[in-house]
Amino acid sequence: MSDGIIGLFGIVVLLALLLVRIPVAFAMFVVGFMGLWIVDGLHVATGLLASETFTLASKPELVVIPLFILMGNVASATGMSRQLYDAAYAMIGHVRGGLASATIIGCGGFAALSGSSVASALTMGKVSLKEMERFNYDPRLSTGSVAAGGTLGILIPPSTGFVIYAILTEQSIGRLFMAGVMPGILLLTLFVLTVSVLCAVRPEYGPRGPKTTLIEKRRAITGAFPILLLVLVTIGGIYRGIFSPEEAAGVGAGLAVVYGFATRSLGVKVLMVAVQDSVVTSATVMLILIAAHLLNPFFALTHITEIVGNFLSYLDLGMIGTLLFILFVYLVLGCFLEGFAMLVLTLPIFFPVVLEMGIDPIWFGVLVVLTLEMGLISPPVGINVFIVKSVATSVPLGQIFRGVIPFWFAMILALAILIAFPQISLELPNSMFN
């Protein structure tokens, strides 16, 4: 059996394991280790397992993962997410669909702390769904806005998706973080516009909320000041060159803990729970990365990258055509696979082709991460939809999926705009790092 056939068989086995819900890291470990054993012997497989684990764990840039996750967990525990939602609600809650728009804005703000789409959807769902139910919002709009708003967590920095992409492709985490700022704002704006259009067509979807006085607005905005300051210090510090991403993560986590203790909204027991959750999440991500570093040599030895590159060259689609083809593959895979699984499975195959075609790797990273976001609300997997379902237990799953459809098309529009105008993604990182 040729090496290429072994590589293709390994991909089929990996997809099969992921589709039957075998944990991502375990599935990749099995395929990567067994594949290396078959192709190059047990000695090489065990040697790579030992060396790659140590090499990856020694990378200092990985410290951003546990620290930013800790910052998000502490911010959630101290009620910062609620304060941000209250501020957005005080400003626009009185217009039709205002609560849904406030939820999306709150998701965007919380995403700038947690870097996690699941955490954003879960936290803002707990905060906002009862409020929207109280004001008789249509369940499709309320749940759809939470599920879609949560996807901002993987695009607005600090994004765990960008960190994983950077590690797998050896790109700058700082450049990727800056590249996600303007696309994140663009997508948030399109989501808010989607809510406005839906409520203009169907006013009963989002009734008006009560108006707030100027004093109430001022009080709500003052309450959101800590979370805005935290975002300004961390992301602004990276942009101004004051902090590296690793330093910004440490400063952000430290400030969140200090704020919690200073306001007595954070106790030792709550902090320990936040730390424990951060450790578990970070360990999961690390296992996936280690497994990916076993899978990559297997793909290299079986020449899968060359096979895919030759196939795309044969199609002769050109740069934009090749890019659209790759993104379409991500879009289809997103209906069945979890985002991190797609990254570690496909980047070793597609990224060399991307470099050969002259596609900017930072721009490509933004497009890929945005496409991964779409998978978070695409049936049948749509993990954010199931997260919202766990909070809105009375809303049928079908209604939630119908509720995210308008936002899914808004993401398609955002993707088209970013493809047509690459500078939206590249202006900040180019101006900062050049």
* 423 in any annotated domain: yes
* 287 in any annotated domain: yes
* 160 in any annotated domain: yes
* 315 in any annotated domain: yes
Mean pLDDT (the chain, rounded): 84
* 50 in any annotated domain: no
Q: What is the pLDDT of residue 305?
A: 65
* 7 in any annotated domain: no
pLDDT tens-digit series, residues 390-411? 888 888 888 888 999 999 999 9
Mean pLDDT of 51-72: 79
Place 57 in a pLDDT band, splitting at 50, 70 and 90.
confident
3-state secondary structure the chain: CCHHHHHHHHHHHHHHHHHCCCCHHHHHHHHHHHHHHHHHCHHHHHHHHHHHHHHHHCCHHHHHHHHHHHHHHHHHHCCHHHHHHHHHHHHHCCCCCHHHHHHHHHHHHHHHHHCCHHHHHHHHHHHHHHHHHHCCCCHHHHHHHHHHHHHHHHCCCCCHHHHHHHHHHCCCHHHHHHHCHHHHHHHHHHHHHHHHHHHHHCHHHCCCCCCCCHHHHHHHHHHCHHHHHHHHHHHHHHHCCCCCHHHHHHHHHHHHHHHHHHCCCCCHHHHHHHHHHHHHHHHHHHHHHHHHHHHHHHHHHCCHHHHHHHHHHHHCCHHHHHHHHHHHHHHHHCCCCCHHHHHHHHHHHHHHHHHHCCCCHHHHHHHHHHHHHHHCCCCCCCHHHHHHHHHCCCCCHHHHHHHHHHHHHHHHHHHHHHHHCCHHHHHHHHHHHC
pLDDT tens-digit series, residues 244-272? 888 888 888 898 899 899 888 888 898 99
* 36 in any annotated domain: no
Q: What is the pLDDT of residue 219?
A: 86
CA distance 427 to 412: 21
pLDDT tens-digit series, residues 103-136? 898 888 777 777 677 777 877 787 788 888 888 8
Place 221 in a pLDDT band, splitting at 50, 70 and 90.
confident
Q: Which domain holds residue 130?
A: 62-292+301-433
* 70 in any annotated domain: yes
Q: What is the pLDDT of residue 421?
A: 95
0.75 exceeded by pTM: yes
Report whether pLDDT(183) > 90.
yes
When divided into structural domains, the chain yields a total of 1
Report whether pLDDT(56) > 80.
no
